[in-house]
Structure 1
């Protein structure tokens, strides 16, 4: 096989639409793969898309038809077939080679292999790809085929294009066009490996791989015998191929099992597939990946409470501690393997074991899934349908099937992938959001979720679990968002209430829930330049996409925190309240184990600088929420919850060892006086939970505003229970003794509490934009000390900068 990568010497031109005069008709250098917006910025023709209110000023980009052009040298090497392989074109494109149209595309989520044998010529070849403007195209298709419900302002459901590129309630509207994955010319002869599906099972101690190999033949009329070999762990099996497909089974004795993180190791086995044949019998092609041996089962069978959503890997129940994943950059070509690695580390460092790839984004690159394989991070993958009704007629259905076939096949080697899901919120939208009346009998996607997609999985890869949607109750006769059945999305709390109402729910499994907060201060002010800074400033609202988002922030913190007096206090209060909301919700949901089997918080990451639900902002700064998630996702965890008799402590022991010991509960004044103390023997089985009622002596405060409950159990993290909200507590505004020092490359901030301190946090970026801190949201009893370690600041940075009032914050400083 010969390959000519087409990465160099591209230009792009605005050929029609509302491009400014300085841009229209001008050939501009392009990076491939790349983004129109970023190429325009690099050429100095537009300002930074994420800055200020530039989003509004640059909406014209999505209304323009763009032409991409390059040339390449080619000479005939005798190959039987010559093809243009485009791994990702976004989205509606006409491909022309030397003036000959060789193909049309209409799907960002799949690849295309175009026969260019008749169009190629010796020497220089001219390749042109004309992209239709996505925004008017989406509207035109919607009008042509019948408008269907969608959230946000553009009918993204009329195109097979990343939905969130048109904007979301956390995302910038930068819908454009271009070449977003590699493109190349391939020449080959006789035959090539088109795809491999290495489907894994386990039989006793033997790992079994059923490798399904699809073959492309240069001459479809020829049925010469080919030979395919599959090798795993030194075991080689082969088969003769007379048609276009082969099945080879390889059994690996004493195979090591792949486990989710926290349950065991993640051994990965190399698999290589080799194709030979022709005359003479020659190596024609090869394919290699890594696989892991494991089994997957999800229990949704009816029980006395309703029906669970209980994920089992290798026969063991996995309590899911996860987060939802969105594209990690609005311009997705900017996400490389290292960025994926850092973001997945954000998940694993916070004790997460699952990421849900949300249906309004993309099927991520192989790098993402490979890193999850290595780290033992389970993956729930949505098919790409989100918050909309989708046509099921041929004009869209053929592309849906093609993209699903490719995605299922491409991802079939990854042991981390355990759940496929038909859509995000479309079934509940039809059932409960009023779509049915407005659709007037039009198709809306039900056939995809209940027939097409499960049918393709049955055909191509039945080794994973399939859910028709999220949320979903696993019955057509039950509300899809009923907390006693299956999975739920909890959004009434954010949209209508404050976070105390998470206790109104008793869910079996929470697949989405979240609370907003702003990004780190530096991330915010480097993109928002209102003067003075204000939550309702013009640019601030450009970077707040949620409907009435800032009003919801205020309603959310109102019952809990004092009213902020400055923009700095607003920023800290809303970040703190976001963290408190998720800490409250997850602690409660985990206390329901084993009735509740998991939570997937919305969301891990951001795709641009924005006020959002993310734990890690676009600039890769960990928000206070991240530190809260790390704490509440500890495998061994204790939480105090209301009970019928007062208060109870639930002990969670999500490791393979039993726990037995004493639970020590103390009620103290903020000054540190012990008012009552109890010691209670307890035991928790491995992977189990236990709940212990607390005696009234410690569970009932005489002065709720000035007392705190401490619960300790050896080997479990300490938990502190507040008897009152911050706004009602007698917290000191200045309760800390602070020492700042440098220790090599690090800065150490040692704090000692003169009285009770609630949620001390160093906002490290405010001390230096490159700084980060190891711990956060640290609560201290009177007399206790804690040392924060700050890294990333240059050697000449003043250590005392990280002890300043606007850097070292705590809940009590909102009161004084």
Structure 2
């Protein structure tokens, strides 16, 4: 057993020696019935069976179908261990996370049952322990059987998917989503171990951190659990400040108030540094003996929501340290269906990808999990803002027991756990459920039954107000701020835009000027190397069996085709289809983001659906299930840049909009040129840009620029500043443009760790992409979607561990343009 000490207590991990077996039942395949396999803890049934060679990888081809029986089977984990040395007053079995319907027995005696993946549990087991060979068994009942029994008891509820996930407190997307597989897990998914302690322990520590007028305060709320009736002393220190208090016999709680003068503030990335301070809390017993210790890095920052009514409706703006922040966000889903596989280093890489795309906020979506301590620590360290949904998504949820009790316990635990993180700036009650009640034909089938409203508008705001009063709470995403206004009204609060993608062309983004867009997105397939790893289809085709199985959206392929038909030439083969659908995704999101940002001040945030994937799939992600960046990622990096130059349609014509999210004024000369596809200028004008920090300036374009002589043969090029921020405007759709056949010169030069590919255009090259992963799955390129005018040159740097074929790097299908 591993051992870690804190004060007078000790923690002993129970992660070794586990086995796993299926309980006999009608769903268990013959080859697995009666078989016991080694189990990894933390882990889950699927990955243990995969490691034992008993199931195929569910991420490949359509293997997902072959393992559906796992979620309908009961499972038993078992291990043996010796009693920890010493004579502590208490020995507790501590389970950080059990997935989900678990019955625990120790030496054949039942010690507890759990029904919530999103809670930890603790059991006093001292009286049951032998000195040697204790047997701990954890039986997981089928999540399906549990959920379906509650559904049958309480009556069904409307739901976006034909699965019973609202009837169990478990990661909803385990039951499948329009980007995820149906892989209903079971297992000891987080740490498990023994905690030995005497006299008393720190049961809860909850820092409430505020800062105002140069003074930081930390109210440290402490709950102790006792094994002896003696006075206790609690001490807290932070940034040189120290305080202590006595917890008398019979008392369990204390509040310690710390004051820090002129603390360095924690700022979101792009606004300042991320200063943090060590907060340490210690518990002491008689004779000043140390009993327990808790430590966390905290940051001083203020956060509020500005929802002031104005002539446009009512605002929705995050204000951090009294500075309004334009949110350049992404939605975050679990990075793997099997969350124990998401390591800190994997999270750090994903955060690097978000930071490099100029993202400043991650919204943890409500169909997944409350994210890990590693996730929040990295967000604190790197300055990401985090919006955490409570875990309700796309369904009507029952409010009866046992769910009312479980939801409150889960919320209290998670709010307490996350309260000290400066990155967390917003709690949200649910994803789309209030909107669903209004617009998704729920009211008649509900027939008056509960659907979650009491959670979102009563229970959860009460818990947040009590335990985390410094942070705003918003009842739903989307939500308008009032029952009197439709929850998805663009003029109030937050909205989701899904008619684009589902039914309308992406140019419809321009019809909305929302206060804050919390979801919007457009699909594309993953990188080619990701497809080739995951699928054995031969040949690959847009509708080949594996591609079809890894497209989970309703009519997804038809919607992709609709988007291609509206904008791009018809693809001749799969390679062209793959490239063009990825380009169309990138263009759709770039158009939306640039439009929303051009209305900065009215609109104060966009949260793209979605940054990441949990497996290889055609989806709305910018980074695919194997961690590869799609062309959308490069488009997002440009559209989310601190300084953005964009050409936008405005009433009566076109305008140049300069958006400045940096902390300093943007002063530069901007030129706008109308020219032909062959590079001949037809008209030009210049502007002296002077854009204050945190502002946007709109400059109408004169008619001789905004009105082409030949719409299908001309474009606008706007450039500003020494770094030549550039914006393009084409007057016609690519499908209608008589593109010249792409001609260019290309050279390949070896460099440390890869090659440089220099491309010089002889004709216009539209949306140049170098798909280096086609040659080496680990190869990465530094830029994509480069449009070159005749005579211009771009240098693409490819990082690759092995030499790449120079000819392949400079020809189709690796190097592509729309023309």
TM over 0.5: yes
Confirm or deny that 1:776 pairs with 2:784.
Answer: yes
Aligned-residue Cα RMSD (Å) equals: 1.1
Does the Cα contact within 8 Å between 2:742 and 2:817 map onto a contact in 1? no
Confirm or deny that 1:400 pairs with 2:407.
Answer: yes
Cα separation, 2, equivalents of 1:673 and 1:408? 61
Confirm or deny that 1:604 pairs with 2:574.
Answer: no
Cα separation, 2, equivalents of 1:585 and 1:16? 53
Cα separation, 1, equivalents of 2:713 and 2:121? 67
Does the Cα contact within 8 Å between 2:742 and 2:765 map onto a contact in 1? no
SS for the counterpart of 1:123 is coil
Does the Cα contact within 8 Å between 1:360 and 1:385 map onto a contact in 2? yes
Cα separation, 2, equivalents of 1:735 and 1:488? 44
Cα separation, 1, equivalents of 2:203 and 2:297? 18
Match of 1:454 in 2: 461
1:729 alignment partner, one of 701, 724, 737: 737
Match of 1:739 in 2: 747
Match of 2:398 in 1: 391
Alignment of 1:392-541 (within 5 A): 392-541=399-548
Unaligned 5+ runs, structure 2: 1-8
Match of 1:234 in 2: 240
Cα separation, 2, equivalents of 1:552 and 1:293? 46
Does the Cα contact within 8 Å between 2:20 and 2:36 map onto a contact in 1? yes
Per-residue deviation, residues 513-555 of structure 1 (Å, max 9, x unmatched): 0000000001012112222222222221110000011001001
2:165 alignment partner, one of 132, 156, 159: 156
Match of 1:756 in 2: 764
Query: 1:4: how far off?
Result: 2.2
Q: 185-194 or 797-806: which moved more? A: 797-806
Match of 1:138 in 2: 147
4+ aligned runs moved over 6 Å, structure 1? none
SS for the counterpart of 1:184 is strand
Match of 1:169 in 2: 178
Query: 1:138: how far off?
Result: 1.6
Confirm or deny that 1:306 pairs with 2:324.
Answer: no
Match of 1:267 in 2: 275
Query: 1:318: how far off?
Result: 0.0
Does the Cα contact within 8 Å between 2:742 and 2:764 map onto a contact in 1? no
Match of 2:207 in 1: 198
Match of 1:249 in 2: 257
1:617 alignment partner, one of 603, 624, 627: 624
SS for the counterpart of 2:784 is coil
SS for the counterpart of 2:464 is helix
Alignment of 1:550-699 (within 5 A): 550-699=557-706
Cα separation, 2, equivalents of 1:181 and 1:288? 20
Query: 1:741: how far off?
Result: 1.8
Per-residue deviation, residues 172-191 of structure 1 (Å, max 9, x unmatched): 11102100000001111111
SS for the counterpart of 2:615 is coil
Cα separation, 2, equivalents of 1:312 and 1:662? 31
SS for the counterpart of 1:574 is helix
Confirm or deny that 1:207 pairs with 2:213.
Answer: no
Per-residue deviation, residues 385-437 of structure 1 (Å, max 9, x unmatched): 00011111121110000110010000011000000000000000011111111
1:3 to 1:657, Cα distance in 2 relative to 1, 3 A:
closer
Cα separation, 1, equivalents of 2:788 and 2:226? 70
Cα separation, 2, equivalents of 1:254 and 1:308? 31
Alignment of 1:372-387 (within 5 A): 372-387=379-394
Match of 1:25 in 2: 34
Cα separation, 2, equivalents of 1:505 and 1:340? 34
Does the Cα contact within 8 Å between 2:479 and 2:495 map onto a contact in 1? yes
1:789 alignment partner, one of 789, 797, 808: 797
Confirm or deny that 1:186 pairs with 2:191.
Answer: no
Query: 1:440: how far off?
Result: 0.8
Query: 1:76: how far off?
Result: 5.7
Per-residue deviation, residues 652-683 of structure 1 (Å, max 9, x unmatched): 01112122333211111111111111112332
Q: Tell me how many residue pairs correspond in the alignment.
A: 807
Per-residue deviation, residues 140-162 of structure 1 (Å, max 9, x unmatched): 22111211112222110000000
Q: 532-541 or 94-103: which moved more? A: 532-541
Cα separation, 2, equivalents of 1:604 and 1:311? 21
Per-residue deviation, residues 69-111 of structure 1 (Å, max 9, x unmatched): 0000115621111111000000001000001000000000010
Query: 1:592: how far off?
Result: 1.0
Cα separation, 2, equivalents of 1:700 and 1:195? 66
Cα separation, 2, equivalents of 1:10 and 1:325? 32
SS for the counterpart of 1:256 is coil
